[in-house]
Amino acid sequence: MFDRLKKVFSRPEAGTDVARAAEAAAPAAPAAVAAWARSRGWRCAASADGSATAVDGLVRDHKWLLEVGTSTRRYIQGQELRARAELGLQEDLRVIVVSNTLKNALEEKAFAAYTDTLQTSMDSNMPEEMRWLMMYDEVPLDGLPEHFPALFSVHGSDEATPAQWVDPALARALVAAMPPRPEDAPPFLMMLLRGKLYLRMACDPGDTATLQAASGLFLQACEAALDRLPKAGSH
């Protein structure tokens, strides 16, 4: 995964000056990941038990964090890459971009939960992304790459916000992140929610190339949101 996309985002660029003293005091991250993060001006550290690696920095003065560790979602087996950026967007904006393979799996689970005769209400442990998928309709988008609809679905609380955010450039990057065959696409999800951007996807342990490419895709999505979507307090 990400074999094509990693070439786009492997070029070092000037990063934000971060607190390197805190990194020095934290457990050492894998050498290759730490060297890559430092080349971008980012901080990198491992969890106390060494089970997860975290990279963080700033995008236009907004904090972001990317972690790789044991999955916190049942629909991602093994290792999970998750990212979060505090973008200061209007908190009522809600958009989900999901790989169709994951969307189908989540919808099947939700349907089973509702039709189970022994279950009178939705599982309280059901992740919020599943609830949003059930609540919001898919939004058709025009002018995107030919293969985008086969790979991804976009859902939102309105039609204007997804169209503003998922422009052709971001859509091309998303398509490049996936295998050519839609059925081979791994679990992948990005959400705009509560003024923040979230990403979750499957990630092989020690796959530095995927980490590099995913961070580039995530930051491109952050930039697009900051460029095109209303900020908190705006009208």
Host domain of residue 91: 68-228
- Tens digit of pLDDT for each residue in 24-54? 434 445 788 888 888 999 998 887 777 788 9
Amino acid 112: pLDDT: 63
Amino acid 115: pLDDT: 56
pLDDT classification of 9: cutoffs 50, 70, 90: very low
Q: Is residue 57 part of a domain?
A: no
pLDDT classification of 85: cutoffs 50, 70, 90: very high
Cα distance between residue 152 and residue 190, in whole Å: 11
The H or E element spanning position 44 is: strand 43-46
Amino acid 24: pLDDT: 40
- Tens digit of pLDDT for each residue in 94-143? 999 999 999 988 877 765 655 554 454 455 567 788 888 888 999 999 99
pLDDT classification of 235: cutoffs 50, 70, 90: low
Q: Is residue 203 part of a domain?
A: yes
Q: Is residue 41 part of a domain?
A: no
What is the torsion angle, in degrees rounded to the nearest 10, for the CA atoms of residue 54, residue 58, residue 59 and residue 63? Answer: 80
Q: How many domains does the chain have?
A: 1
Q: Is residue 235 part of a domain?
A: no
Cα distance between residue 73 and residue 222, in whole Å: 23
Structure tokens that stand for 227 in this block: 């460029």
Amino acid 29: pLDDT: 58
What are the CA-CA distances from residue 101 to residues 79, 83, 188 (Å)? Answer: 18, 20, 9
| Strand residue runs (E) in 95-208 | 95-99, 152-156, 188-193, 196-202
Q: Is residue 160 part of a domain?
A: yes
Q: Is residue 58 part of a domain?
A: no
Amino acid 23: pLDDT: 39
Q: Is residue 117 part of a domain?
A: yes
Amino acid 17: pLDDT: 43
Amino acid 125: pLDDT: 61
What pTM did the predictor assign?
0.82
pLDDT surpasses 50 at 75: yes
Who wins on pLDDT, 225 or 30? 225
Amino acid 36: pLDDT: 87
Q: Is residue 52 part of a domain?
A: no
- Tens digit of pLDDT for each residue in 155-202? 999 999 999 999 999 999 999 988 888 888 889 999 999 999 999 998
Who wins on pLDDT, 205 or 23? 205
